[in-house]
């Protein structure tokens, strides 16, 4: 449960900061927010699967 809450909290903060960054740079907020959230989700997914692979490769899975 803590992992899910942490992911939601982190993505929310990233979205808010991205919104203010976009406003400051006079860019379209939804493009900036979408780009940053997509990258964050890709990183979260990659680290999850890398952790699973490392656990399996070294006998802890």
Q: What is the mean pLDDT of residues 50-54?
A: 95
pLDDT at 61 (0 to 100): 55
Tokens of 39: 């990258």
pLDDT at 2 (0 to 100): 96
- pLDDT of 1-46, one tens digit each? 999 999 999 999 999 999 999 999 999 999 999 999 999 999 999 9
Give the pLDDT band (50/70/90) at residue 59: confident
The pTM score is 0.83
Go through 8-33 and write b for each residue having 16 or more CB atoms within 10 A of its CB, e for each that does not.
eeeeeeebeebeeebeeeeeeeeebb
């Amino acid at each position: 449960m803590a992992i899910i809450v942490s992911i939601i909290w982190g993505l929310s903060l990233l979205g808010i900061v991205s919104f203010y960054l976009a406003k400051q740079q006079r860019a379209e907020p939804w493009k900036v927010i979408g780009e940053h959230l997509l990258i964050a989700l890709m990183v979260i997914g990659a680290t999850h699967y890398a952790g699973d692979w490392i656990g399996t490769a070294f006998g802890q899975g």
